[in-house]
Amino acid sequence: MTDAPTPVRRALISVSDKSGLVERARRLTEHGIELISTGGTARALKEAGLDVRDVADLTGFPEMMDGRVKTLHPVVHGGLLYLRDNPDHVAAAEAHGIAPIDLVYITLYPFEATVASGADFHTAIENIDIGGPAMLRAAAKNYAHVAVCTDGADVDAALDEIKSGGVSLALKKRLAAKSYARTAAYDAAISGWYARQIEDTAPDWAAVGGKLNEALRYGENPHQSAAFYVTGEDRPGVATARQVQGKALSYNNINDTDAAYELIGELGAEQPAVAIIKHANPCGVALGADLLSAYRSALACDSTSAFGGIVALNGALTGPLAEEITQIFTEVVIAPGADEAAMDVFAKKKNLRLLITDGLPDPAAPGLAVKTVAGGLLMQSRDNGRVGRADLKVVTKKAPTDAELDDMLFAWRVAKHVKSNTIVYARDGATAGIGAGQMSRIDSARIAARKAEDAADAAGWTEPRTKGCVAASDAFFPFPDGLLQAAEAGATAVIQPGGSIRDDEVIAAADEAGLSMVFTGMRHFRH
């Protein structure tokens, strides 16, 4: 094997994504490179006036079976795989009339996009590419002699070197590595989709894959490297949003913005809602008559923690709301839309990131959550559990009022998006105090109460908003102490999953304290 650049004399092109196809093919021919192609790609090149040899002429077999079989032939794969510096390979190629193929440019059938569009089972199956991955893998295996291009940028990189005499070994290795990653991600998308079709929640083999969206400056900390990959899932959020302005998103920005928008999706679009997130936990969430009033209520819950936070909205950002948001330092705002007045306000804050989505994420939609551990992956279905009034079981002598039930369901939906253990106090459609991520549930209850007291002091209120609030616990109370702490903070009603061996003790304590309490029968741990 030599490190010297190798010339390219023949290129095989077969692309589903034809953007830039003709221009790149023409540049290849300008270097005296013979073009071989298939089906629609060949037609597009011929219509552009380029000289193209059809693969069917090369193999002696026509495309058949609706195009399922066209490149699966020894003449094609032999041309990709034989080692030019191996005398036995060269002799076999000459004996069977196999000519070398020095470059392949292949974009695969758009399986991911087809699934994301909501296509039916048959349509998805027909968009599984067979010949494309086979050729990419063959060319990548023979990286020393073949430049394998999976997109237009790869062809451009190869052309930059071809004009100087040939493609370097270093570039061919990089292209080969990228090719295997592309086919791996493609197969991961197919296997994941297939597992969902047959409702296999724990397949014998599991694969995850994604496409680089951008390399990040660093990870959670400056000494960690990081990159952002997208899976192709058609879910409104940080991965699919359009960034209108501001600095590039950091690793922590992306993580926090995802948490913020998933929470806002949980609240739906029926009533204006705002969530303010810091370190993936909400520091304030509220419903309101409009987004401006909702923002003010959310900010009042913990204005100190909101500094440098993420703001998520379930409606279009307006000029007056933009003015209000820019009164404190905010990292990111994500919303379904924004008017011109809001854009003008934010334009004065060059570093403030504004992300626009096409809608809200569906909290009930299925999906996967993946977490790495040493030597393995933990995979689970997305927590898409939902409860409504009909699901609630009143377990105390005192029943909650309609207003308390509304606040209970609101607090419960917020609690689902707070790190465990969590206690959320809420009143009048707004969080009054949030205790997140504590090892003890009673500590979460105390922290939430203290947050409410701090907010009252900052606002000059006579009492914290926890007086007359409801309390939500993401998991059951193992002892009455956490419940009694919530009562001491001012809660009059409690929503929790139930299921403790001491439920009777907790219910008795609630009755003695004059609380109403409901069980959901569903837990929302979040780690």
Q: For 394-440, how does the pLDDT look when each residue is reduced to its tens digit (9 = 90+)?
A: 999 999 999 999 999 999 999 999 999 999 999 999 999 999 999 99
Q: Is the pLDDT of residue 68 over 90?
A: no
Q: In whole angstroms, what is the distance from residue 258 CA to residue 280 CA? A: 8
CA angle 255-451-322, nearest 5°? 55
pLDDT at 437: 93
Q: In whole angstroms, what is the distance from residue 387 CA to residue 495 CA? A: 11
Q: What is the mean pLDDT of residues 194-199?
A: 88
Reported as a single tens digit per residue, the pLDDT across 22-60 is 999 999 999 999 999 888 888 999 999 998 888 777 766
pTM of this structure: 0.88
Reported as a single tens digit per residue, the pLDDT across 434-491 is 999 999 999 999 999 999 999 999 999 999 999 999 999 999 999 999 999 999 999 9
Q: What is the mean pLDDT of the chain?
A: 92
Q: In whole angstroms, what is the distance from residue 165 CA to residue 4 CA? A: 10
pLDDT at 226: 96
Q: Is the pLDDT of residue 495 over 70?
A: yes
Residue labelled with tokens 């809660």: 491
pLDDT at 70: 66
C-alpha to C-alpha distances, 221 to 216, 226, 250, 251, 331, nearest whole angstrom:
11, 10, 10, 9, 17
Q: What is the mean pLDDT of residues 93-101?
A: 85
Q: Predicted confidence band at 90 (pLDDT cuts at 50, 70, 90)?
A: confident
Q: Is the pLDDT of residue 113 over 60?
A: yes
Cα of first residue to Cα of last residue in the chain, in angstroms, is 50
The answer to whether 356 and 332 have CB atoms below 8 angstroms apart is no
Residue partners of 308: CB distance under 8 A and separation at least 6: 278, 329, 330, 331
Q: Predicted confidence band at 227 (pLDDT cuts at 50, 70, 90)?
A: very high
Look up residue 71 and give its DSSP letter.
Answer: S
Q: Is the pLDDT of residue 2 over 60?
A: no
Q: Is the pLDDT of residue 215 over 90?
A: yes
The structure tokens listed for 430 are: 């707004």
Reported as a single tens digit per residue, the pLDDT across 501-522 is 999 999 999 999 999 999 999 9
Q: In whole angstroms, what is the distance from residue 274 CA to residue 283 CA? A: 11
Residue partners of 437: CB distance under 8 A and separation at least 6: 281, 418, 419, 420, 421, 422, 444
The C-alpha torsion from 238 through 242 and 245 to 247, rounded to 10°, is 40
Query: In 202-348, where does DSSP find H-type helix?
Result: 251-267, 291-301, 319-325, 340-347
CA angle 106-108-110, nearest 5°? 145
The structure tokens listed for 72 are: 């699966």
Residue partners of 74: CB distance under 8 A and separation at least 6: 96, 98
Residue labelled with tokens 């006579």: 462
Q: In whole angstroms, what is the distance from residue 52 CA to residue 25 CA? A: 10
Q: In whole angstroms, what is the distance from residue 371 CA to residue 470 CA? A: 33
Active site residues: 141, 279
Q: Predicted confidence band at 86 (pLDDT cuts at 50, 70, 90)?
A: confident
pLDDT at 322: 97
The structure tokens listed for 62 are: 């026509």
Reported as a single tens digit per residue, the pLDDT across 344-360 is 999 999 999 999 998 99
Q: Which amino acid is at 264?
A: I
Query: In 239-290, where does DSSP find H-type helix?
Result: 251-267
pLDDT at 233: 85
Q: Is the pLDDT of residue 61 over 70?
A: no
Q: What is the mean pLDDT of residues 329-337?
A: 97
Q: Predicted confidence band at 331 (pLDDT cuts at 50, 70, 90)?
A: very high
